[in-house]
Chains A and B, each alone.
Chain A
Amino acid sequence: MELLEVKNLTKKFKGKKGDVLAVDNISFSASKGEIFGLLGPNGAGKTTTIRLIATTLAPTGGTAVVGGFDIHKHPAEVRRQIGVLTTDIGVYDRFSGRENLRYYGHLYGLEGQDLENRIDELIKLLDMSDFTAKRAGKYSTGMKQKLAIARSVIHDPKVIIFDEPTSGLDVIASQTVIAFMHRMKELGKLVVLSTHQMPDAERLCDRIAIIHQGKLIALDKISVLKEQTNTQNLEDTFLKLIKQKHLRSEPQEEQEQKKGMTGDSKIKLIRQIRIASLIVLLIGIAAFFIPSLQQYSIVTNALILVGALGAVVTKTYFKKYK
């Protein structure tokens, strides 16, 4: 069985301006000792796919199986199998690098000398010994990135997912990250790399999946895809595949999204008025039942009346705009 199996994974975000199909029926699988690339333009759905696999988001359809554990049935076990480096890295500023790592170690169930040994190992591997005693608030972007990488693999996971690990890094820091990924591959891990950086992908990935508007539009070895599209470098391959896809798909979805825009601010206003009316109504009703306020019954009745009226009127408007 493959280490990572993604089957018909789908995620629809429900929004005020209409729904967004961020991940649309994606399937692929990847195995140990492989670096698997997840490529796609901005907003393609890469991060969402990763979050679905890592169980921080729940899919609206399909499933994924990581190391034999289904994301629906054993989410905690799945999280144990995976180490994820998120795009936006954040570290606990008031803790030192080592304290940061220790905290995550504890959360993964590691303790005592085993944990300290693991931390030391990662510090050496990522060349962090100069700064792990300092508070993380004083770190540079590169230092933070290294700390985030160390944190994501503290529990020695089988599957390592890196979401744009080299964005914002200089050449030297990038090299460290790339070397780290190679090392993980050598150790028999599955590395999933989501990136925009075509040269990185070209150098590192055994196979790539190209995602565009939530759909999987290509999945194969880089050399095969180049051959299919008759291109020399991955960037051209990528652009050509995306263009082909555009010609085929109808731009119907985008029009649908625009329609909802005009009524949006009105709906917001009406919703606020509606909430205010309901609050007034509640206050009125509450005041009505307090015996000592009965001499002010005109006020409480007025409150109830105004509140109820507001609620009914806004309700009809609500229906009209929706």
Chain B
Amino acid sequence: MLKSKKIVLVGHFGVGKSSLIRRYVQNVFSDDYFVTVGVHIVKKVVQVNNQELTLLIWDIEGKEDMKKLRPSFLLGTSGFIYVLDASRPSTYEILEDELDFIRTNYPKTELVTVANKIDLVDKESFIATLGEKAPWITHFSSAKTGECVELLFEKLAHTLVQ
């Protein structure tokens, strides 16, 4: 049987969660912002180590606070992608708390953190202003240019089969 894994994108509203998914699954991007209400689920089959793996990607409504999310949305999640917006400091002000919350409540779930919209900022000075938060962020992506998007999902897919 085909293996499948649930991946959930979390993070504030407007950081580009839906855009990242759209870039990854359909390879398209739009500058228009359309707020996601509720949950949209798409699937994408990837090859990992010559095996097919189905990613069931959950795009949920953005919230400023992880604790406000309905737990049923996160049930059975294999991997989280925490998305922040490099151009808006409010989206990573409490990054550490948010990541701690995930690690504590979902200890067995993989977690990657991505700074999206990297096309809007100077990467080096962005990292410099992050200070201590910087090591938590492992990916720098742009749904607009496509930079690092595929890599982000595919690296996560690899860690999920291990």
Task: Please determine whether chains A and B interact with each other in the same assembly.
Answer: no
Interface residues of B, Cβ cutoff 8 Å to A: none
